[in-house]
Structure 1
Amino acid sequence: MELTWSTEGLAPEDQFAYWADVVCEACAPLAPVRTRQHLTRSRWGEGLTGWVRAERLADSTPTEVVSCTQRLTHGPAEVRRGRDEQIFVNLQLDGTGRGEQDGRRCVVPPGSFAVFDTTRPYVLEFDESPDGSPWRVLSFKIPRDQMLALIPQPTLRTARTVDARSGAGVVAADMMTSVWRSRAQLSAAARLALDHACTEVIATALGAFEKEGDDRSSVDDATRASIARFVHERLPHGQVLAVEAARHVGISVRKLHQLYDGHETTFGATVRDLRLQRAARQLETGGPHVTVTDVANRWGFCDASHLNRAFKGKYGMSPTAYRESSSATVT
């Protein structure tokens, strides 16, 4: 279901508060600011005009944002307020974007994109097009666990401009825009498949699988990414065993477990986290007729109590509380 928000019809003095609520709802906690410099560079000399459209695919949520010149800050307070850990892939369609995170700065012209991690502070600034028309961004909100399964933490460089006019960048940008434009005609199965494919193409464009020479760490990173993709694809069909994942990438079970030595996760933790992500999505979208026991059975937990303990460990609340908070957010 598509969700739309707009400042149209609001008085300029009411637009700021509404816009802050909109970007928080559709994106992440963000604090909008329009300084004197922003106002002088803008066609709109007061208030904060704009609209947002968002529609979930499967795990990711594409969002189109159109607005006037401004700065958006995701500071320490906003990081603490954020409930979900996400990676934002911002494709600039019109106007110019600038971003700053982890000590890096980037300028994002139309036809390029950059990524930002909601677990750490960042700043975004957008300028209208030279002809005075609003800036426009297509932003894909992707669960952080899924992206990090494809791109190792040291390799995922935020606030870096990716040129979407050539190479893998243009493939990723074309796929993002095509999926967004075609979303109304996509079946549930197509949404799921294209959601996963889009995440993988974006990861490729970000350099997830670049190898330098015979660097063993690059090979191991790519192997772990392949394992994560296999788990992601197999999970809806039932239990995912280490022996199956090892066979899929052509290594022994012992080697599979060794791949995670020295990392913050293990194969078992990777499977568990993905199961919990799927459980959380079903709690959000399954409707009141789907019980916690149904969700536990669907995603491989022994019973509702088992899911409850694991869910609290990851999300800090019970499945029931999570569903209630999600319903309150949507309404």
Structure 2
Amino acid sequence: MPNVQGFASLTAPTTSLDPLLGWTIHEAISLRQQLRQLGDALVIEAQVAQGCAGMRRASDAGLVVVMTVIEGRERGEDSTGTLLFEAGDVIVWNTRETLAFATLSPLRKMMIACPEAVIRNFHPDLIGRGPLHLPGRHGFGAAVSGYFEGFAGTLAEMDDREAHAAVDTGLEIVARAVRLVRRDAAPRRSSARFARIMSYIDAQLHDPDLDSAEIAAHFGLSVRSVQLLFAEHGTTPSECIRQRRLNRCRRDLQAARRAESITDIALRWGFNDPSHFSRLFRRRYGVPPRTLVRKRPEG
């Protein structure tokens, strides 16, 4: 590791954990690290001066890293964007991904790194795409960061058996927090995706071939996923498309000039069979389309 001052190793890491240390440091700023290996886990305490910046390239030897910011602020950046990490925050990331960092104020943090294969067996919730950021300002996030701050403060006093138990407990706590975050985020993601699909449907209502398969292909989903998403909202893709087409037809029948026929309006909104359209319209509104035609004002 170039340009690292004051490096101290309490226990030398095994070869399988070496990828974690493959950072390229861009600035010759003071960086102190203490390492302790506990079975498959490597615990690292780091103190980094303000202005230190660097990058770690993606490694095929995947390690899952749980990082707690104890003091200071740091900016992290990967392929998904930029995140700001502050005191109390917990971040989960994977060495299979390129990650850049820059310290914005004097930083003290603790990291627990474990081989991905081990994490997959015992804490699979910690494996995901991109860094997972657990803010430590309030709620469960504050409790999680409090645990790791206490752990970091007493690690030097623990024997290996105690420290190993503390690592296992910490990983389980973070895994529970991750499950909670993902559970709460799922409805928001579902609603946002549903809103995007509905916007697409409204823009494509004129297409008589619009169906679940076309929607799935446009959004890169499976047909089953699209069907399940609509089921969460109490409907089906075909029913939703049909009702929105009928609503558009009703609106246009009430507003159109007399020169425009019922068939013209039905075709505009994706109904190829006028007789079928009339039956659906009557079933939906209780009257045939021609009733609205008779009530239209003179054009």
TM-score (norm 2): 0.50
CA shift at 1:211, angstroms? 4.3
* Residues 2 and 24, structure 2, Cα contact 8 Å, conserved in 1: no
1:5-63 deviation digits (Å, cap 9, x = unpaired): xxxxxxxxxx94445988996942110113xxxxxxxxxxxx42231112223432221
Distance of 1:170 and 1:58 partners within structure 2? 28
Are positions 1:172 and 2:144 aligned together?
A: yes
CA shift at 1:200, angstroms? 0.6
Distance of 1:53 and 1:101 partners within structure 2? 25
Match of 2:133 in 1: 161
1:104-143 deviation digits (Å, cap 9, x = unpaired): 3211112212222101211122122xxxxx2222222233
Match of 2:64 in 1: 87
Match of 2:195 in 1: none
Are positions 1:136 and 2:117 aligned together?
A: no
**How many correspondences in the alignment?**
178
Match of 1:304 in 2: none
Distance of 1:29 and 1:21 partners within structure 2? 14
Distance of 1:120 and 1:137 partners within structure 2? 20
Are positions 1:197 and 2:166 aligned together?
A: no
Match of 1:151 in 2: 124
What is the aligned counterpart of 2:83 among 98, 106, 110? 106
Cα 1:25/1:127, change in 2 over 3 Å: farther
Match of 1:30 in 2: 23
* Residues 76 and 82, structure 2, Cα contact 8 Å, conserved in 1: yes
1:199-214 map, 5 Å? 199-207=171-179, 211=183
* Residues 62 and 180, structure 1, Cα contact 8 Å, conserved in 2: no
For 1:32, give the aligned amino acid: I
For 1:92, give the aligned amino acid: V
Match of 2:201 in 1: none
Cα 1:192/1:30, change in 2 over 3 Å: same
For 2:145, give the aligned amino acid: A
For 1:151, give the aligned amino acid: P
CA shift at 1:147, angstroms? 3.0
Match of 1:74 in 2: 56
* Residues 63 and 138, structure 1, Cα contact 8 Å, conserved in 2: yes
Aligned to 2:37, the other structure's residue is in SS state: coil
CA shift at 1:171, angstroms? 2.4
Distance of 1:188 and 1:197 partners within structure 2? 14
* Residues 151 and 208, structure 1, Cα contact 8 Å, conserved in 2: no
* Residues 69 and 87, structure 2, Cα contact 8 Å, conserved in 1: yes
CA shift at 1:98, angstroms? 1.3
Which blocks of at least 5 consecutive residues in structure 2 are unaligned?
10-16, 188-299
Aligned to 1:89, the other structure's residue is in SS state: strand
* Residues 80 and 130, structure 2, Cα contact 8 Å, conserved in 1: no
* Residues 26 and 63, structure 1, Cα contact 8 Å, conserved in 2: no
Which blocks of at least 5 consecutive residues in structure 1 are unaligned?
1-14, 35-46, 129-133, 216-331
Distance of 1:57 and 1:166 partners within structure 2? 30
Aligned to 1:148, the other structure's residue is in SS state: helix
Distance of 1:121 and 1:32 partners within structure 2? 14
For 1:61, give the aligned amino acid: L
Distance of 2:181 and 2:88 partners within structure 1? 23
1:241-298 deviation digits (Å, cap 9, x = unpaired): xxxxxxxxxxxxxxxxxxxxxxxxxxxxxxxxxxxxxxxxxxxxxxxxxxxxxxxxxx
Aligned to 2:83, the other structure's residue is in SS state: strand
For 1:190, give the aligned amino acid: E
What is the aligned counterpart of 2:92 among 90, 109, 115? 115
* Residues 6 and 30, structure 2, Cα contact 8 Å, conserved in 1: no
- Which entry has the higher C-alpha Rg, 1 or 2? 2
Cα 1:101/1:147, change in 2 over 3 Å: farther
For 2:124, give the aligned amino acid: I
For 2:135, give the aligned amino acid: D
Distance of 1:30 and 1:123 partners within structure 2? 9
Match of 2:36 in 1: 55
1:281-300 map, 5 Å? none
TM-score (norm 1): 0.46
Cα 1:152/1:140, change in 2 over 3 Å: closer
1:128-170 deviation digits (Å, cap 9, x = unpaired): 2xxxxx22222222332233342357x7343343111323322
1:244-259 map, 5 Å? none
Distance of 2:57 and 2:110 partners within structure 1? 22
Distance of 1:210 and 1:186 partners within structure 2? 33
Structure 1 vs Structure 2: percent identity of aligned residues? 13
